[in-house]
Amino acid sequence: MAHPTRALIHLDRLTHNLRLLQELAGERPMWPAIKANAYGHGATLIARHLVDVGYTTLCVAHASEAIQMREAGIRATFLLLSATLVEESVSIVEHRLEPVVCTREVASALAGAAKSMGRLATLHIKVDTGMGRIGIRPDELAGFLDYCAGLEGLRVRGVMSHFPRADEADKHFSLDQVATFRQVQEQTRGRGIDVYHLANSAGILDLPDAGFDAVRPGISIYGLAPSATIANPRVRELRPVLEWKTRISFLKEVPAGVGLSYGHSFRTKRPSLIATLPVGYGDGLSRGLSNRMEVGVGGHCCPQVGTITMDQTLVDVTALRGRVRLGDEAVLIGRQGDVELRADDLAAALGTINYEIVTRLADRVARIAC
């Protein structure tokens, strides 16, 4: 029996978004990000489609994600975006992954693992141009390249950086980063670097000079805007890939003045028809959304009421009395008739970003290609 709460993944919309972003990126290679279970959309499902439509390099956060893709039969180059530990080096070389490196210790460990296996370890060096998370300073790059060049079994394929503020309306900081990274590129030409890459989704949309040799789109391939302040009007052409739906599992008439769910955070103000949905924070529907969101039922927006629990939540469907039935569809994200509920709406209610809403979807919510 399938869990009635499911995520529908529209692969045709994914293809549409990829074409739009590729048009903006031009002829540059595009390396889509499928980290965090493809931003909650199902990494294996998304990766297979990306490879089928011609993408050959995919970005993940950790080696474990790439190895999972390898074991699922995904034939692609995997770029590891997060810093790795020395003890991961053997697995990285064994599975022919391309890690982001910014310490001599990891570079040395990769070289040692490669030498022991008779292989060549390929890596990308991260330069911190303003993210402040991982990476070496721009003025350290030449020395780092010299160090790597002295290690047998090591090949530096790329140099990269990342934007922390490209999704903001004010682009001054990001433009300074582009200028810094361009200096990095100029200063290291002739050092055997194949590819310099910087642009994320916001960079592709709003910073055309940030393309360099390859781009790394993330949230936008899934049809979600990096922020509400993206200037490029084509962001409105993105189509959300994910719809999150469930079904009504119980209906009950409740008198006025009755408390509902844990803590009775909601009390009925009138005789009410209340629907129970088999979805809760165990599925990724944040408890923080309690009494602060709407659900699509019968083509109408109905208020969620009471505390969202681990496996179930309640919706006031009084306005649909006589028109709603057990088993009817309920939409958390997606379209139903003229009603559209967006990940951005849930994010606004929760005081967070759309990234967090979709990546929270639990594994027990089936991802179904459609």
List the catalytic residues. Answer: 35, 262
Residues 6+ apart with CB under 8 A from 326: 248, 249, 250, 251
**Residue 138: CA atoms inside 13 Å, Cβ hemisphere, count?**
17
The whole-angstrom separation of Cα 149 and Cα 191 is: 9
The whole-angstrom separation of Cα 161 and Cα 134 is: 9
Please give, one letter per residue, the 3-state secondary structure of the chain. Answer: CCCCCEEEECHHHHHHHHHHHHHHHCCCCECCECHHHHHCCCHHHHHHHHHHCCCCEEEECCHHHHHHHHHCCCCCEEEEEEECCHHHHHHHHHCCCEEEECCHHHHHHHHHHHHHHCCCEEEEEEECCCCCCCCECHHHHHHHHHHHHCCCCEEEEEEECCCCCCCCCCCHHHHHHHHHHHHHHHHCCCCCCCEEECCCHHHHHHCHHHCCCEECCCHHHHCCCCCCCCCCHHHHHCCCCEEEEEECCEEEEECCCCEECHHHCEECCCCEEEEEECCCCCCCCCHHHCCCCEEEECCEEEEEECCCCCCCEEEECHHHCCCCCCCCEEEEEEEECCEEECHHHHHHHHCCCHHHHHHCCCCCCEEEEC
In this structure, the dihedral spanned by the alpha carbons of residues 101, 161, 344 and 331, taken in order and rounded to 10 degrees, is -40
**Residue 169: CA atoms inside 13 Å, Cβ hemisphere, count?**
2
Q: Tell me how far apart the terminal alpha carbons of the chain are, to the nearest angstrom.
A: 19
